[in-house]
Amino acid sequence: MLFLDGDTLLDPHFVELARAVLQAVPQLVAVWGHRRESHPEQSIYTRVLDLDWVFAPGRVDYFGGDALVRRQALADVGGFDDTLVAGEEPELCRRLRAAGWQIEHIDAPMTRHDLAITTARAWWRRAERAGLAYAQVAARYADTPDPLWRAEARRNRRHAGMLIAGLAWFGVHFEYRNIVRDLLIVVVGFVSIASTPRAVREDNGFTWEPMKEVAYLFFGIFVTIIPVLMILKAGAEGAARVLVLGVTDPWQYFWVSGILSSFLDNAPTYLTFLALSMGQLGIEPSQVTAVLNGAMPGPSSTQFAAVLKAVSCGAVMMGANTYIGNAPNFMVLSIAREHGVRMPSFFGYMIWSGIVLVPAFVLVTLVFF
C-alpha cells in the first residue's frame, strides 16, 4: 500500500524502486525515499523546515506520511491509531518494529511537498502540533523496554548543557535571583489559571489568542533585534559609526533612542544607548552609582545624568508611537479586534500617533533637553 500526504506530488519512479527493494528484502515492512519542499524559497520557515526532510539512507526506526508499506503487516498490527491527534506514523512504526519488521530509507526521490508556511503564526502552530505528537506518543511507551525518542531527548539535553557551559565560558553570568523571579512569575500564572473559575474567564470574554499573537510577534522582534543592538554596541568601530559619532547631546539621545524603541522594545534600546553614552563619557559600569549620587562630580557626571534622563524618556515615551513599541500596545489591539472593535491599521495608527504624540515630544525636547 502506498501512503501519501495530501500536499505531496509523487516521483514517477519511486513506486517501482521501492517495490523492488521490498521484494528483495523479505524482512522489510516499509520503504520510503527523499521528500523535499517544492518551493523552499517561499519563506525562511519553508527553507529551514525543508531541512527536516533530510535523512541518511539505510535502516531507520520510522517513516513519515509517505511510504510504501506491506498491506498484510499493516493489517496484522491493527493499522494506524485514529485516536492520536498527530504522530500516528512513528507510533505505527513502533508496533511494526515490535512485531519484528524493519524499515528502509532508500537514496531516491520520493515526493515533493508543499508546506506553504509563510508566517510565524503558521510555523508556531506546526511546531505546537509536532510537540503534541512527540509528547503523546512518547508518553504511551515511556515505561516500555523500547521507549520512543529517548536517544533524541538525551541529545537535546546534552546540547542544552553544552550551550549553557558555552555561555558561562564566554562570561555570560546568570543571576540566580533573576531565575527565581522568572520562575515565580510562571508559578503565579499557573496558580491563577488553576484557582480562577472558568466561568469568570468566560464572562470576561478571556481567550489566549491575543497573548499568542503578542508572543509570535515579539519572539520575532527579539530575534531580529540582536544584530541591530550588536551593531550599536560596536560603537564607532561598527557599521553604525556615523550614528554613534553623531549622537552626543541629550536631545539627540532622546530622539534616537525613542525612534528605535518605537519599533523594537524599550528595555534593550535603553541598555544599548546607556552603554553608548557610558563609552563616550568614559564611565565604567562600576562607577554609575557613584556618578549619579554625586560622589564623582565633574562635567562627565553632569552630562551623563542629562543623557540618562533623555534615554529613559525616549525609550519609554516613544514606545507608544507604534503598535509594536511595547507588548501591551499590541495586546490591546489584538483584544479589541477579537471583540469586534474597529482599529486603525499599523500605518494608520502611526498617522494618529504622529499627529498627537510627535508634537508633544517636540515640546518635551524644547523644555527638558
pLDDT tens digit sequence for 162-201? 766 765 665 555 567 777 888 888 888 888 888 888 888 7
Check the CA dihedral 127-132-138-142 and report its sign.
Answer: positive
The residue assigned the cell 508546506 is 115
CA angle (305 as vertex; 302, 310 as ends), nearest 5 = 130
The residue assigned the cell 517495490 is 19
Q: Per CATH, which fold does 2-140 belong to?
A: Spore Coat Polysaccharide Biosynthesis Protein SpsA; Chain A (3.90.550)
Enter the pTM of the model: 0.47
Most trustworthy range by pLDDT among 57-61, 123-127, 201-205 = 57-61
State yes or no: pLDDT of 110 exceeds 60. yes
What average pLDDT does the segment 201-225 reach?
75
State yes or no: pLDDT of 21 exceeds 80. yes
**287-288-294-298 Cα dihedral, nearest 10 degrees:** 70
Residue 117: per-residue pLDDT: 87
What average pLDDT does the segment 214-241 reach?
70
How far are the Cα atoms of 7, 31, 53, 359 from residue 16, in angstroms, in the given order?
Answer: 21, 11, 21, 72
Type of residue at 51: L
Confidence class of residue 148 from pLDDT cuts 50, 70 and 90?
confident
What average pLDDT does the segment 286-312 reach?
80
State yes or no: pLDDT of 11 exceeds 70. yes
Most trustworthy range by pLDDT among 3-7, 186-190, 216-220 = 3-7
Residue 156: per-residue pLDDT: 73
Check the CA dihedral 143-148-154-160 and report its sign.
Answer: negative
- Cα separation, 26 vs 107, in Å, equals 19
Residue 360: per-residue pLDDT: 93
Residue 24: per-residue pLDDT: 94
State yes or no: pLDDT of 68 exceeds 70. yes
Residues of the chain with CATH 3.90.550.10: 2-140
What are the E-state strand segments in 114-161? none
Beta bridge partners of 59: 104
* 51's grid cell: 531541512
CB 30 within 8 A of CB 103: yes
Cα 23 to the chain's mean position, in Å? 45
* 220's grid cell: 520575532
What average pLDDT does the segment 109-115 reach?
92
H-only helix segments in 77-119: 88-98
Residue 170: per-residue pLDDT: 55
What average pLDDT does the segment 236-260 reach?
81
Residue 203: per-residue pLDDT: 80
- Cα separation, 311 vs 365, in Å, equals 12
Share of the chain above pLDDT 90, in %: 26
- Cα separation, 216 vs 100, in Å, equals 44
What mean pLDDT value characterizes the chain? 83
